[in-house]
Structure 1
Amino acid sequence: MSMARLWRVAALVGVSALASGSIAEAQSPIVQTRFTADPAPLVHDGVVYLYTSHDEDDAEGFRMLDWRLYSSIDMVNWTDRGAVASLKTFPWAVQDNDAWAPQVVERDGKFYLYAPVSVAGSPKNVIAVAVADRPEGPFKDALGKPLIAPGKDNIDPTVWIDKNGQAYLYWGNPDLWYVKLNRDMVSYAGPITKVQPRIADYQEGPWFYGRAGRYYMAFASTCCSEGIGYAMSDGPTGPWTYKGPIMDHDRRATGNHPGIIDYKGGSYLFGFSYELNFAMTPMHHERRSVSVARFSYNPDGTIPNLHWWDATSAPQIELLDPYRRVEAETIAWTSRMPRDRDRAYAWAPGVTTAQDDRVGVYVTRTVDRSYIKVAGVDFGKAGAKSFTAGVTGGRAGATIELRLDRADGPVIGALPAVDVGERWQERTTPVSNAIGRHDLFLVFRNTGEHSTLGIDYWRFGQ
């Protein structure tokens, strides 16, 4: 079955993996509320923090203004943490575009965000650095100027801190460059060096890391079309030996950018595709979407060919506890059910998210028949008796239906969301037959085509 066809099925009925006793898997792409690209995962205190660049909804070419953050502890449900930095973070940079591929690393309790931006009067990019006290930010300009001065190859920075404490910054398209960073992570020592000879099939988007005494350089392979390739070395500065594709060149990809981590006993590859764009229009736009796949290294440390995102994914590694507060922007999938269930159609946009000074990130655009799927919810043997949510807005007749396993699955309860007003309120409704492990669907009904209903968080009670 093609990915487009899978989306039609998922959007229509929200197919559940747990309903049949199997393990839920990450949907592809993992974020549907907006376009995301250039994934840069960071593991910190048992959480995967996924930093991304962000293609604007109206982008035709590259139109990128900020950097976003998502987090997960199960690799399937992803929580939107909002924009953690933007071009405004660097007021000396060009402000109308070019917030390109970032990476965040932690050192000595600080978090450093490296990103390419543009400067006025130069056709070349620079690399900037911002710093924060928490992975969620807010990030602040660390230097008030570029870390790496203008250069024709200055995009896609990647940083790794070696076991001896030495940090390395790599970047570049079409050539690959590196420099040694000082302990402060905002200055460097020694020359900026070009990697020679060029790694076979290298184009852009490097991702540098060390593992088990080996060093890896994953990258977007030569355009166009692009796949994901990698090279290995015995040292952090090479020489590099090309090892082949992790994902083959694919006609569906005119760009790519890998990110690779180890997390809770598994290894994961992040990258992107244009599938959501093509689910909405046959026209190519630079509107990309991030996906993730789990893999296992070969005994010699090499990485297997994972083929494409329609051939691989990541299983859910931890069930979700519904009896703690769950941010409403924790989503495995969102779409909108059609009026005519017999009509085949591609993916339809579901809910989206916004940020508010009062509550932070929350779910909005909850138009009639839109829904949120939360995968792998464990209600336990006793089951849930109530559902509580923080909501705002609403209209007469608006409800949040709570369904199991499918968007049209059994209803376990419905939360009226009328006369809430513009302030945030907590509302509770009884539920029944919420027992065991299920996918949970929050289906928004009678909210109209221009819904004002927002939801900040939810939890079940026993």
Structure 2
Amino acid sequence: MYGAVFGRVVAVAGMLAATVAVAPASAAPTLAALPEYTTAEAGNPIVAGWYADPDVAIYNDRFYVFPTASRPYAEQTYLDAFSSTDLVTWTKHPNVLTTANVSWARYAVWAPAPIARNGRYYLYFAANDIQSNSELGGIGVAVADRPEGPYTDAIGRPLIAQFVNGAQPIDQDVFVDDDGQAYIYYGGWGHANVAKLNADMTSLGTFADGTTYREITPSGYVEGSQMFKRDGRYYLMWSEGGWTGPNYSVAYAIADSPVGPFTRLDKVLAQDPAVARGAGHNAVLNIPGTDIWYIVYHRRPLSESDGNARQVAYDRMNFNADGTIQRVRMLVQDNFADGNALGWKTYGGAWSVSDGQYRTTASYGGKSLLDDNHVNATYDLDVTVTSGTGDAGLVFRASSAGTGADTYRGYYAGITPAGRVILGRANNNWTPLGSAPLPVVAGQRYHLRVVASGSSIKVYVGDLTTAKISVTDTTYPSGRSGVRVYNAAAAFDNVAITNQ
């Protein structure tokens, strides 16, 4: 299955020279100075388009993400990459590898694994989705002189072209240990193998017993594998469940050796019915010189049923004192610092991002919603009514959205320069639920918070200790979140939604 867990870690600082060579000496202190993000604070997904199976690297003071193009198999004939200096704004590098540069690859080009060594850049990939040893395909290796390619086939044939120990040759991950020994981890169909890579990075070595492949399949393993090292211990991660289904997830094991044995410990990442489904196939990113870690992965928006409707996201990954990994929370935030509104869908009005804010011109009920489904949550955002005498604010627990003043089912809390904070519900009409006096100046930013827990709804503005409005209403138990205006132009910023 091509939705396997795959992804190489950008290693801890002690391993950085081996795993991401050619980075200048200034890279570590520059990158270590980045803010410590709780999630992709400019919003997930981090790049536009359907992509899956992301892997990561740090080259020349830049972060690189190499994903699979999430399309029908026959159309998976290329790989794109994205780079960033801050994990916020991303530059697309199209067609870093195409089947035109690999004589034996025809389609199903999956799960790129980047690594730099010997003064060159290597990209490992799977192609052709072979189903038996009689077919041509498997895991290949390409090489380039620049991180963004173009990459060309390094050996003119697959590096791993056969099923060994029952493992389909897909979803490779490359890891270089502190002693300089490189390993390739791979496998689908419920089996995982590890092999040594020789120093040339284009041929396989052998273990002390003369064998080339060693099976390392942990309990629950379905496909793919990804390796990283922290505090002298080896972490193997993999995907469980079916890649098209909601139960796709990431689990892990820890060992004292790069070849195991690996005993399953726990899930790390799974779907959240409030945020996204099918969360899996991860990479791990460590900020050099720090103990800050992120999990980079793909997930499927809640409203999408197409298996290929997958997007790249990242969230913070934290460790317990004993080295075990805490379960990752998929957080919902957007400060619009990346200059876009990926993941938002508009219904009426004219919307744009500028100066790090999400802006809309005046309209009668223009709204923009996320693809979420929160039940009990705390909603935070900054609201500025830039012109007009109407109101602007938060939509929550919404469904059946369309274009029109009250064309949705759900709640809305907003502020108006007329001097009030308001709360009501919509169902192709408007039912007021509460209001309170509030001095509001056009052009001034206000922090709006709504706490919705069961039937209790509380609205705060500025002062987050005393609610301006507090009501009980059972009409809408869950739904989408977003922003809205009515007869006003507005700017929105620092959206954050937290499950209770």
Structure-to-structure mapping, 1:155-170, within 5 angstroms: 155-170=170-185
Q: Matched residues, percent identical?
A: 29
The AA in structure 2 aligned to 1:131 is V
Once the two structures are superposed, what CA deviation does each residue of 1:105-158 show, in whole Å capped at 9, x if it has no partner?
A: 111221110011128994574110000112111111101111112325111000
Deviation at 1:179, TM superposition (A): 0.8
Aligned partner of 1:216: which letter? Answer: Y
Partner of 1:192: 212
Name stretches of at least 5 consecutive residues in structure 1 with no aligned partner: 1-21, 321-329, 342-368, 378-404, 411-462
- Aligned twin of 2:94: 82
Superposed CA deviations along residues 330-369 of structure 1, whole A, max 9, x for unmatched, are: 755347874624xxxxxxxxxxxxxxxxxxxxxxxxxxx5
Opposite residue 230 of structure 2, the aligned amino acid is R
Q: 2:128 aligns with which of 118, 121, 145?
A: 118
Equivalent residue number for residue 67 of structure 1? 79
Residues in 1 aligned to 2:160 and 2:140: alpha-carbon distance in whole angstroms: 7
Find out whether 1:272 has 2:298 as its counterpart: yes
* Structure 2 counterpart of 1:333: 341
Alignment map for 1:25-104 (pairs within 5 Å): 25-31=41-47, 33-56=48-71, 59=72, 63-94=75-106, 97-104=107-114
In the alignment, does 2:268 pair up with 1:228? no
Q: Distance in 2 between matches of 1:23 and 1:128?
A: 33
In structure 2, what residue type is equivalent to 1:156? D
Q: Match of 1:333, as an amino acid? A: A
Deviation at 1:203, TM superposition (A): 1.2
Q: Taking structure 1 as reference, are residues 175 and 210 closer, same or farther at Cα in structure 2, changes over 3 Å only?
A: same
Alignment partner of 1:247 out of 263, 269, 273: 269
Q: Which has the higher contact order (CA 8 A, sep 6+)?
A: 1
Q: How far apart in 2 are the matches of 1:141 and 1:23?
A: 36
Amino acid at match of 2:103: P
Relative to structure 1, is the Cα distance of residues 164 and 284 closer, same or farther in structure 2, using a 3 angstrom cutoff?
Answer: same
**Match 1:294 to one of 312, 316, 333:** 316
The question of whether the paired residues in 2 share the 8 Å contact of 1:226 and 1:249 is answered with yes
Matched residue of 1:146: which SS? coil
Structure 1 distance, partners of 2:80, 2:384, is 28
Going from structure 1 to structure 2, the CA distance change for 1:407 and 1:175 (only over 3 Å counts) comes to: farther
For structure 2, which runs of at least 5 residues remain unmatched after alignment? Answer: 1-37, 359-381, 388-500
Contact 2:191 2:215 in 1 (8 A): yes
1:231 and 1:240 in contact (8 A); partners too: yes
Q: Displacement of 1:255 after TM fit?
A: 6.9
1:209 and 2:228 are equivalent in the alignment: yes
Q: Which residue of 2 aligns with 1:133?
A: 145
Residues 23 and 93 of structure 1, relative CA distance in 2, 3 Å threshold: closer
Find the structure with the greater CA-based Rg: 2
SS at match of 1:333: coil
Q: 1:23 to 1:30 in 2, by over 3 A?
A: closer
Contact 2:204–2:212 (Cα < 8 Å) also in 1: no
Match of 1:105 among 94, 102, 115: 115
SS at match of 1:88: helix
**Counterpart in the other structure of 2:432:** none
- Is contact 1:334–1:371 with CA below 8 Å preserved after alignment? no
Q: Which deviates more from structure 2 when the two are superposed, residues 148-157 or residues 252-261? A: 252-261
Q: Is contact 2:39–2:316 with CA below 8 Å preserved after alignment?
A: no
> What amino acid does structure 2 have at the position aligned with 1:72?
S
CA contact (8 A) 2:250 2:269 kept: yes
Whole-Å separation in 2 of the counterparts to 1:86 and 1:70 = 16
Q: 1:68 Cα deviation (Å)?
A: 1.2
Q: Structure 1 residue 69: deviation in Å?
A: 0.7
TM-score by length of 1: 0.60
* Regions of 4+ moved over 6 Å: 313-316, 405-410
Distance in 2, matches of 1:338 and 1:114, equals 39
For residues 211 and 336 of structure 1, what CA distance do their matches in structure 2 show?
A: 36
Partner of 2:281: 257
CA–CA distance in structure 1, aligned partners of residues 177 and 238 of structure 2: 19
CA contact (8 A) 1:293 1:313 kept: no
Rounded to whole Å, the distance in 2 between the matches of 1:255 and 1:304 is 16
Cα distance in 1, alignment partners of residues 103 and 351 from structure 2: 38
Q: Distance in 1 between matches of 2:260 and 2:202?
A: 23
